[in-house]
Each structure stands twice: as structure tokens, then as C-alpha cells.
Amino acid sequence: MRQPLVAGNWKMNGSRAGIAELLSGLKAGIGQVTAAEVAVCAPAIYISDVQQQLEGSAFKWGGQDVSVHTSGAYTGEIAGPMLRDFGCHFVIVGHSERRAYHAESDELVAQKFAAAWAAGLVPILCLGETLDEREQGATESVVARQLDAVIAQCGIDTVGEGVIAYEPVWAIGTGRTASLDQAQQVHAFIRGRLAQSNQSVADGLRILYGGSMNPKNAADLLAQPDIDGGLIGGASLKSDDFLAVCAAASD
């Protein structure tokens, strides 16, 4: 039985005051316990505020990116041990926006996964095809290539310590959600691919869906057999919406 996980990805949104308000809404709404694991991934500069407000609540928190290095002359980067220092549990690696705007290769993403794991973080590995790739029928080969790079770098057992998020790029922030069949099909494909390396890792690993998931469509998506939670962008910026998705995952 895989415990559902709902993780918010705030991306580069919010202000210190706005985030304080969002956090108090989240804390008030969630109480101490949910059946689902719940988390928010904040802009790095606000993580200390997040830690102060969420410590002792049901929420965990995390970063949105991590350096492959542990320290040194890497201006602007944030190391895994630094995220741990502020109580981060998770970190997103290989988000499509990092792949697209920062030219992150499959190999670099795999190194980030390894660095996150070595620092004691749980990496949330994002995989997903662009619209062009889907239209060319390349969805499975793209997702397999992205996943295989991490298995090759880290080994299947370490991959099993993380979380996977399938995020079709064309569904991110567009209001255009993958259909239940489209999402389930790719999730099952990813699980099958993992099973080729290790069946028990495949059975235990949580595969989240991300891409315009919201309070209206969450329950149906989460009812799919291979969808184990969500990575939520836009709908994580309003406490009521995010709590509604958390509640759908806890049912």
C-alpha cells in the first residue's frame, strides 16, 4: 500500500507576507494528521520562514532544485546539506521548467537526484514529454530515457528511495489536464519500466501526477491505480484549493 503524497510546488511565486498568510491557512486547515503525506516546496529564500511556521504541523517542506555539489565556488547554487539545515524533507529535481530554461540534461538531473539522496533528502524526480513529443508518439521513449538516466546513475535501489512525478509539459500551468486514461497509461508505463529493474521498487515507489491538478479533478486522477498523489503548482498557491487536493488524497 503506497501512502499518497501531495506536494505543492510554489515555483517563483509569492512574497514574504503572502507566504506567511498561505502557511497559516494551510496549518489551520490540515490539523496534525492526514492519511496522505503533505508537503510544500518553496522558493529557497522563504524556506526558513516555512520551517518556522510548519514545524510541528502535518506538513513537510522542501526545495525546488539542488546543486550537484555539496559546497564550494558555485555562485547562486544551493546545496543539499543547506536544504537539510532548514529541515527540508523533499527536493524537486528535473522539473520541466529547469530542463527547459536551464538546459538541465538527463545526466545532470540524475546527478542532482544522487546529490539530494546523499544529503538525506527525498528527491521528487519529474519526468514528462512536451506536446510535440506526444504528438510524435514519443511519450514513452522520452519518459523512459529520462528515467533510465537516473537508474543508470544512482541504481534502482536509490531510485526506490525517491518519488517520481509524471508531469506532461503541455499540461503544466495550462489548465489542460491529461485525461484519466492518458495519465494512468504513462504511470503504468513508468511502473513497468521500474519493474524491469526491480519489482518491489516498482510496487513501492510513489508516482505523482502533475499538470493542472486541482480540487475539481484531483479525486478522479487519484482514483487511478498507478497515481499515488500529486505535484501541484497553481492550485498550491491558495490554501483552500491545496487543502481540498490534500483531502481528496486522504479519502
User: Which sequence positions are flagged as catalytic?
Assistant: 95, 167
Contact between 172 and ligand PGA by CB under 6 A: the answer reads yes
- Report the residue from 23, 202, 208, 231 that binds ligand PGA according to the rule CB under 6 A: 231
User: 64 or 139, CB closer to ligand PGA?
Assistant: 64
Q: Can you spell out the DSSP letters for the chain? A: -PPPEEEEE--S---HHHHHHHHHHHHHHH-S--SSEEEEE--GGGHHHHHHHHTTSSEEEEES---SSSSSS-TT---HHHHHHTT--EEEES-HHHHHHS---HHHHHHHHHHHHHTT-EEEEEE---HHHHHTT-HHHHHHHHHHHHHHHH-HHHHTTSEEEE--GGGTTSS-PPPHHHHHHHHHHHHHHHHHH-HHHHHH--EEEESS--TTTHHHHHTSTT--EEEESGGGSSHHHHHHHHHHHH-
Binding mask 93-132 for ligand PGA (x = CB under 6 A): ----------------------------------------
Contact between 4 and ligand PGA by CB under 6 A: the answer reads no
User: 22 or 201, CB closer to ligand PGA?
Assistant: 22
Beta bridge partners of 125: 93, 164
Q: Applying CB under 6 A, which part among 45-53, 106-114, 179-187, 233-241 lies near ligand PGA? A: 233-241
Q: Applying CB under 6 A, which part among 71-79, 99-107, 143-151, 204-212 lies near ligand PGA? A: 204-212
CB of 185 to ligand PGA, least distance (A): 19
Contact between 233 and ligand PGA by CB under 6 A: the answer reads yes
CB of 247 to ligand PGA, least distance (A): 17
- Report the residue from 212, 221, 244, 246 that binds ligand PGA according to the rule CB under 6 A: 212
Site residues, ligand PGA (CB under 6 A): 9, 167, 172-173, 210-213, 231-235
